[in-house]
Amino acid sequence: MAFGVERKPARLVAFSDAVFAISITLLVLEIHPPQDTRHLAHGLAELWPSYLAYALTFLLIGQVWANHHVMFDHLRGVDRVVLLLNTLLLMTIAFLPFAASVLAAAFRDGHGQRTAVVFYGIALGVAASLFNAIWEYARRDHRLLASTVDPAGERAISRRFRVAPFWIAAGVVLGALLPALGVAVITALIPFYWLPIAGEMSRSKRGRAGRSDGREEWPEGGRGDL
């Protein structure tokens, strides 16, 4: 049973898209041009930690945005709990540009790198945990799920989403010892979470899609959509 009045998710998704877009745009504002233009090439090269933090965080936020759509594509409605959890998720996403600037400054100055990686990883870990909390709450007893996903699809999506907090935690632990390795582990999330989720679409919907476009229906456990 939903907690409070159940609403369509369209407005929540639109608001979330706006927060994702603003947060991802703010990242570039953390890259400041060199003060000494007499040695501009050298100064631009020295900004490599800012470029790295920008690219890493841009792709990570983009990944959360893409999977946020995957999740809400399978929800028929949202209630007060989902609204609260999603608000907390967006609050964490909006914090990531600051965490990225801390990471870049530490690698640029050569001090505090372990702390910066742990700080950055914790921010990502909180976002990943809130993301999972939304999905697990919505799918419990099928309280808010749409007919686009069957039990096998639910499990496939849950398995994919649950990996992130543990993966990030591993990056945090390694980053506390070897900062560069921690960043590398967190970076490895990017290609993994852009992969399609095999078994995401319900069997009935896969069948309708196969009949409508003339292609063969894929068996359960076969190819899925992002």
* Cα separation, 220 vs 198, whole angstroms: 8
Query: What contacts 191, CB < 8 A, 6 or more positions away?
Result: none
Taking alpha carbons only, the member of 61, 81, 69, 59 closest to residue 13 is 69
pTM of the predicted model, to two decimals?
A: 0.83
* Residue 75 main-chain phi, psi, to 5 deg: -110, 130
Domain ranges of the chain: 10-195
Nearest to 151 by CA among 37, 74, 216: 74
| Residue range 29-76, pLDDT digits in tens | 888 888 878 888 888 898 899 999 999 999 999 999 999 998 999 898
Q: What is the pLDDT of residues 116-163, one digit of tens each?
A: 999 999 999 999 999 999 999 988 877 788 877 788 888 888 888 999
The secondary structure of residue 143, as a DSSP letter, is S
Tell me the CB-side half-sphere exposure of residue 216, using CA atoms within 13 A: 5
**d(Cα 152, Cα 183) in Å, to the nearest integer?**
33
Distance of CA 205 to the CA centre of its chain: 26
